[in-house]
Chain A
Amino acid sequence: EVQLVASGGTLIQPGGSLRLSCAASGFTLSNFGMNWVRQAPGKGLECVSHIGIRGNIYYADSVKGRFTNSRDNARNSLYLQMNSLRDEDTAMYYCVREEPGAFDYWGQGTLVTVSS
């Protein structure tokens, strides 16, 4: 059974840093593209970063230069390093598996709250 378990979300002050983790099971992470998708409270969905099978990484303009997406194949895990956090980064962060052109499995999400 495919499972994605995200963790690391918490309350943090503006300007701070946080590292989210996503532990995958039931499949080999390196065989799939993976994404971080966020949802601000009461709002819609935004893809913030993609890491491809070949390790190519892309970011939304809203997080470029501040967030770093990475993958540890040995641990079958995905990470999102978030620096210089802003109020508008407050959201539920989901790790999402991708088959070409479509997101097929979503984790349960981890909540990041940026507030002083």
Chain B
Amino acid sequence: DIVMTQSPLSLPVTLGQPASISCRSSQSLVHTDGNTYLNWFQQRPGQSPRRLIYKVSNRDSGVPDRFSGSGSGTDFTLRISRVEAEDVGVYYCMQGSDWPTFGQGTRLEIK
């Protein structure tokens, strides 16, 4: 299985400041169909995960534009331009190019 490695695992951020989460895969996520199936999810306390970003950089409907995704091959990043209180939770990257696997999760908290 493809191993997904996130860093940092804990991310204390001051309100209004930017935040960045890295996700690296153990092999390239470029699928034979040419797409790169790297997704980002947010899980708020007590809730189910919610998808934010699909295929590296496509933001889901209703997701604030302060969230953005980038990267290619094996190296990907989720950025939040200005953290708000509602962003508290755990963020997971997930690859769907092979059997689906998730990163360990990054816990974002407000300093």
Contact = CB atoms under 8 A, between A and B. Distances in A.
A47 B48 contact: no
Given A45-B102, A47-B99, A47-B100, A103 B94 contact: yes
B92 A35 contact: no
Contacts of A102: 37, 39, 51, 54-55, 94, 96
Contacts of B96: 98, 100-103
B31 A101 contact: yes
Interface string B20-56: 0000000000010001010101000000111100110
Given A44-B105, A101-B35, A102-B55, A107 B99 contact: no
Given A44-B104, A101-B35, A103-B39, A109 B48 contact: yes
A15 B42 CA distance: 34
Nearest to A99: B54
B31 to A, nearest CB: 7
A33 B102 CA distance: 18
B102 A46 contact: yes
A104 B60 CA distance: 9
A22 to B, nearest CB: 12
A61 to B, nearest CB: 9
Contacts of B74: none
Given A101-B97, A106-B48, A44 B35 contact: no
Interface of A: 35, 37, 44-47, 50, 58, 60, 94, 98-104, 106-109
15 contacts: A35-B100, A44-B104, A47-B99, A47-B102, A50-B99, A101-B39, A101-B54, A101-B55, A102-B37, A102-B54, A102-B94, A103-B49, A104-B51, A106-B49, A108-B48
Given A44-B102, A45-B105, A106-B50, 12 more contacts: A35-B100, A44-B92, A44-B103, A45-B92, A45-B94, A46-B102, A47-B100, A50-B100, A94-B49, A103-B49, A103-B94, A104-B51
